[in-house]
Amino acid sequence: MLRELQRWRGISLATQSPFDETELARGYYYAQWRNDARNKEEHRFIQRMRDRCTTFTAALHAAAASERDDIWHRHKGIDVQGLGAARMADGLAVSLPLAPDWDTAWLELRIEELSEDPQTGETIADEYPETVRHASRKTHLREHEEWGCLEGLDRVSSGAELWAGHADFFPNLQFLDRVQDDLENLDPRWFKGARQLLRQLQASAAAWDPVTSPTGPHWEAPNIRPEHENARRDRFWEDWDGESRCFELHGNLNRGAGRIYFRLVHDEKAIRIAHIGRHL
């Protein structure tokens, strides 16, 4: 399941520390599991994910705003710090599928929060329900894949940031090397249009089945169309393999002032992008 999450984008794993003392099953601890030679590579993989993250406690504290010190998260009456950290960080909680409660893509929490009554100054308790993203099996990840691939995209504010995170945000889109310069020097007036169109192209490519839809995906974005025949001679770029190919499809960035030119790569179920910027 963690490997599938890594396929979406680079992620980190926050866990309780010391992790060796985590009980994986009754009487069976992580330290015992990692000492088994059969689990050597899996242990290294998990460690690499943890090395990219702060400790569990730091992740929990970082997720909570300073004015929200007095807050408790409970699941079926049990305090659940990990689920609370995932909820406050707008993250995904992961569990071992050791009980029926964890065999779900969402978990219901009861939140109890202390606050000060603005009129009396007395401390009052507010209790309310909320759900948190969760997975203990690969099948649970289906509900969260779009969120996982695009999480954080709305906070990106420049073309350079789009390029830096393109592999994480758009796993079904491919980019010619020349697109880096396009994005890093993108006219700011076209940025929001480019970010939105890339998001829509990613959604279209992710849902595309080239076998049942050989002419192309269902387009999430409006006005995706091929170039006019007379203009296609100017829409050739050197592809990944050194061959010159026509990137005949395009979408508009902002009132037709800018465009993204691309082509379909059927055998890789992908969209390959050659140009982002001015209308050529």
Q: Is the pLDDT of residue 110 over 70?
A: yes
pLDDT of residue 118: 64
pLDDT of residue 99: 87
Q: Is the pLDDT of residue 256 over 70?
A: no
Q: Is the pLDDT of residue 65 over 60?
A: no
Sequence-distant (≥ 6) Cβ neighbours of residue 95 within 8 angstroms: 102, 134, 135, 136
The model's confidence at residue 81, banded by pLDDT at 50, 70 and 90, is: confident
pLDDT of residue 10: 66
Q: Is the pLDDT of residue 69 over 80?
A: no
By CB atoms closer than 10 A (0-12, 13-18, 19+), residue 87 is buried
pLDDT, tens digit (0-9, with 9 covering 90-100), for 130-168: 999 999 999 999 999 878 777 678 778 788 888 988 988
Q: Is the pLDDT of residue 103 over 90?
A: yes
- Give the residue from 234, 229, 249, 153 showing the smallest Cα distance to 195: 153
What mean pLDDT comes out for the span 270-276?
96
CA–CA separation, 236 vs 244, rounded Å?
A: 6
- Give the residue from 38, 42, 35 showing the smallest Cα distance to 6: 42
Would you say 153 and 171 are in contact if contact means Cβ atoms under 8 Å apart? no
The model's confidence at residue 116, banded by pLDDT at 50, 70 and 90, is: low
Q: Is the pLDDT of residue 84 over 90?
A: no
Would you say 8 and 171 are in contact if contact means Cβ atoms under 8 Å apart? yes
Please, what sign has the CA dihedral across residues 259, 261, 264, 270? Answer: negative
Say what the pTM is.
0.58
Sequence-distant (≥ 6) Cβ neighbours of residue 212 within 8 angstroms: none
What mean pLDDT comes out for the span 230-245?
90
Sequence-distant (≥ 6) Cβ neighbours of residue 21 within 8 angstroms: 29, 30, 31
Which one-letter amino acid corresponds to residue 199? R
What mean pLDDT comes out for the span 229-237?
85
CA–CA separation, 154 vs 132, rounded Å?
A: 20
CA atoms within a 13 Å half-sphere pointing along the CA-CB vector of 183:
24
Q: Of all helices (H) and strands (E), which one includes residue 5?
A: helix 2-8
Q: How far is CA 277 from CA 76, 179, 195, 264, in A?
A: 52, 9, 12, 19
CA–CA separation, 25 vs 229, rounded Å?
A: 64
Q: Is the pLDDT of residue 169 over 70?
A: yes
Residue corresponding to tokens 């408790």? 72
pLDDT, tens digit (0-9, with 9 covering 90-100), for 203-227: 999 999 999 999 999 999 988 999 8
What mean pLDDT comes out for the span 88-101?
86
